């Protein structure tokens, strides 16, 4: 690879931190939070994409999280801080894709028989549309156009959600913005509201190490976000005189007309995604009432594909910036200026981090060294195998992978829970544990850098995936 390789220009500066230093063809230092194992396994293409991220107009700093891997234009697992520019690739197509978690009231591992979990999956499928498009099940709630328009402007606030259980209730949208500017996006908004989607989106029943029961959902802005992103990628390419097949390189100034339009519609998609996850939780609560005669209490909701205006503190200096997180999660520690007025000001807010279908998830609490990563952590374990590659390479292991899920037994405070129940006949090969990095390896990098601590480590006992 020689001198042309960005990966081998990287310098290790601490045990779990690397820097690709700025030079003539790299505008700013690229800070990477990686163990030696994760660095050695990193892709050359990922580093090339990180250089792309560092060279956009207005970039102030770039960070790579320990789950980083190749993406579209910039790496997944990257954080890009800018002053007055918005980089669409650093948000991506599923604007405000994120995680919502809830505690299940009064339920413990003892209650989770295999039969009850199978019944719970059936009840969820009656209430939440899974997979691409939106084949609405019979008990999925219906919404009026006026409600959706209000959601696009006011997000979770429009459906009565308390600000303490979400990263934000909504991001403001200007009064003059037309919610139906992107026709294809607006047409998707009403029929898909309250649906999960396909790909890596999921609903997961989990058990904490203390035996308590939780539920996690991972999804985003559905067709509204995708069509919004598509529209502005092409418009941005025209604005920057780029060929359409290089649209991932487009960027926008916040103060130019197209930039203002994108900001409004990005915010609408973010508002939609936040409210969408809360509606899914309402449907999940109904399923718990039906099967277990209990309901749930939403704990927190947070996004990991988003750009937000935040106070960035570097070397004791506070500055308002645009913080882009593509496959990365906001992580503000106690007393951060943006947490003033929230219940999390004294502790820092929770960070919700999923892993693979077998290795579970974690809830992190940011620590003071989170300022070293622009108050960001990873968004998951991170892929090691692309979807098509996984289907090709793992086809011969389908039976083995299915058996592992079916036969796995975990113990929670002396209670054995057998099997991870799924809603599919076979475990999706492109989503099985073999296509993801080890979550604990990834989390340990954050712990070793003093960026976050683990407050809960949870493991799956039932998983619903959208079938594409």
* pLDDT greater than 70 at residue 1: no
Higher pLDDT, 291 or 387: 291
253-265 residue pLDDT tens? 999 999 999 999 9
* pLDDT greater than 60 at residue 78: yes
User: What pLDDT is stored for residue 313 in this prediction?
Assistant: 86
Percent above pLDDT 90 for the chain: 93
* pLDDT greater than 60 at residue 468: no
* Contact present, 322 and 56 (Cβ < 8 Å): no
- Helix or strand or coil: residue 102? strand
User: What pLDDT is stored for residue 164 in this prediction?
Assistant: 95
Four-residue CA torsion sign, 303, 305, 308, 313: positive
Nearest to 11, CA basis, from 39, 38, 42, 37: 39
* pLDDT greater than 80 at residue 237: yes
Nearest to 401, CA basis, from 442, 431, 438, 360: 431
Nearest to 439, CA basis, from 75, 66, 98, 76: 66
User: What pLDDT is stored for residue 467 in this prediction?
Assistant: 66
300-351 residue pLDDT tens? 999 999 999 999 988 778 899 999 999 999 999 999 999 999 999 999 999 9
Cα 462 from Cα 420, distance rounded (Å): 5
- Helix or strand or coil: residue 452? strand
* Contact present, 218 and 201 (Cβ < 8 Å): yes
User: What pLDDT is stored for residue 315 in this prediction?
Assistant: 78
User: What pLDDT is stored for residue 332 in this prediction?
Assistant: 98
Cα 179 from Cα 145, distance rounded (Å): 11
Q: What is the mean pLDDT of the chain?
A: 95
Instruction: Report, as an integer, the average pLDDT of 4-22.
Output: 95
361-395 residue pLDDT tens? 999 999 999 999 999 999 999 999 998 999 999 99
* Contact present, 63 and 33 (Cβ < 8 Å): yes
Nearest to 49, CA basis, from 71, 65, 77: 71
Neighbouring CB atoms inside 10 A of 14's CB total 10
Decide: residue 103, CB within 10 A, 0-12 exposed, 13-18 middle, 19+ buried: middle
Q: Which CATH architecture has domain 2-465?
A: Alpha-Beta Complex (3.90)
Q: Give the confidence band of 132 by pLDDT, cuts at 50, 70, 90.
A: confident
Q: Give the confidence band of 199 by pLDDT, cuts at 50, 70, 90.
A: confident
Nearest to 229, CA basis, from 93, 327, 72: 93
Cα 210 from Cα 179, distance rounded (Å): 45
Cα 102 from Cα 283, distance rounded (Å): 12
């Amino acid at each position: 690879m020689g001198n042309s390789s960005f990966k081998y220009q990287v310098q290790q500066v601490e045990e779990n931190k690397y820097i690709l230093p700025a030079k003539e063809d790299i505008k700013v230092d690229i800070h990477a939070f990686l163990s030696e194992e994760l660095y050695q396994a990193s892709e050359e293409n990922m580093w090339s994409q990180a250089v792309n991220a560092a060279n956009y107009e207005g970039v102030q700093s770039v960070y790579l999280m320990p789950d980083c891997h190749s993406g579209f234009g910039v790496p997944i697992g990257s954080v890009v801080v800018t002053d007055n520019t918005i980089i669409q690739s650093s948000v991506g197509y599923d604007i405000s894709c994120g995680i919502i978690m809830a505690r299940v009231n009064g339920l413990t591992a003892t209650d989770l028989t295999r039969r009850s979990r199978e019944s719970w999956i059936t009840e969820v499928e009656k209430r939440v549309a899974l997979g691409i498009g939106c084949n609405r099940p019979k008990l999925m709630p219906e919404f009026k156009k006026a409600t959706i328009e209000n959601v696009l402007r006011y997000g979770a606030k429009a459906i009565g959600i308390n600000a303490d259980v979400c990263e934000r209730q909504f991001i403001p949208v200007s009064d003059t913005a037309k919610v139906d500017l992107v026709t294809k996006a607006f047409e998707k908004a009403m029929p898909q509201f309250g649906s999960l989607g396909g790909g890596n989106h999921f609903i997961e029943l989990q058990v904490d190490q203390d035996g308590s029961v939780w539920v996690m959902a991972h999804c985003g802005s559905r067709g509204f976000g995708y069509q919004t992103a598509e529209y502005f990628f092409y418009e941005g390419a025209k604005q920057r005189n780029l060929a359409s097949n290089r649209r991932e390189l487009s960027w926008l100034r916040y103060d130019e007309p197209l930039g203002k339009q994108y900001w409004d519609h990005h915010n609408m998609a973010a508002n939609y995604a936040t409210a969408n996850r809360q509606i899914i939780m309402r449907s999940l609560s109904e399923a718990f009432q039906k099967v277990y005669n209990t309901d749930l209490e939403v704990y927190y909701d947070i996004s990991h594909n988003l750009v937000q205006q935040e106070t960035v503190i570097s070397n004791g200096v506070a500055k308002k910036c645009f913080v882009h997180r593509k496959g990365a999660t906001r992580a503000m520690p106690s007393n951060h200026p943006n947490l003033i007025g929230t219940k999390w000001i004294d502790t820092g807010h929770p960070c919700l981090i999923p892993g693979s279908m077998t290795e579970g998830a974690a809830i992190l609490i940011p620590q003071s060294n989170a300022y070293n990563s622009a108050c960001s952590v990873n968004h998951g374990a991170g892929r090691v195998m692309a979807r098509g590659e996984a289907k090709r390479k793992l086809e011969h292991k389908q039976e083995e992978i299915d058996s592992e899920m079916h036969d796995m037994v975990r113990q929670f405070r002396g209670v054995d829970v057998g099997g991870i129940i799924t809603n599919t006949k076979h475990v999706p090969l492109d989503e099985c544990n073999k296509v993801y990095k080890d979550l604990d390896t990834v989390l340990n990098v954050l712990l070793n850098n003093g960026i976050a601590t683990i407050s809960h480590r949870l493991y799956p006992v039932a998983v619903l995936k959208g079938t594409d």
